[in-house]
Amino acid sequence: MIDLSILNNKTFDIRLKDGTELNIRKPSKELFNDTFKMIKLIEANSEEDKIIGVLYNFLARAFNRNTNGIKLTQQQVEDELELDVAMYVTKEYWKFVQEVMQDINF
């Protein structure tokens, strides 16, 4: 039997500066697709402010996929994470997504 609850229960866990813990699910199809748009924008060497805005928008949307029922605005995420930390968290989140995807590949 395939137990989908096991695959759907894996989370990316992060503790915010105030101690709040978020257990973030893997991205939705829409969020996953938007990531490729973000990568294309970065590769096109678009305006720095636009890239930063897209990065924080992505993180806010990813953080809001948490199982804790906590909702954060993009501004709250920007206030919580310095740019270098935001980039690091994004990289680690994608490592998590790749690991989950490898677990279900056959």
**Residue 27 scores a pLDDT above 80:** yes
pLDDT band at 105 (very low <50, low <70, confident <90, very high): low
- Give the chain's end-to-end CA distance (angstroms, integer): 15
Whole-structure pTM value: 0.83
Q: Report the largest interatomic distance among the alpha carbons of the chain, rounded to a whole angstrom.
A: 49
pLDDT for 3 equals 74
Instruction: Assess contact for 46 and 62: CB atoms under 8 A.
Output: no
**Residue 106 scores a pLDDT above 50:** no
pLDDT band at 25 (very low <50, low <70, confident <90, very high): very high
Summarised one tens digit per residue, pLDDT across range 45-93 is: 667 777 788 889 999 999 999 999 999 999 999 999 999 999 999 999 9
Q: Where are the domains of the chain?
A: 27-104
- One DSSP character per residue, 56-83 reads HHHHHHHHTTBTT-----HHHHHHHS-H
**CB-side exposure of 87: number of CA atoms within 13 Å?**
6
pLDDT for 46 equals 66
The residues facing 24 across adjacent strands are 12, 66
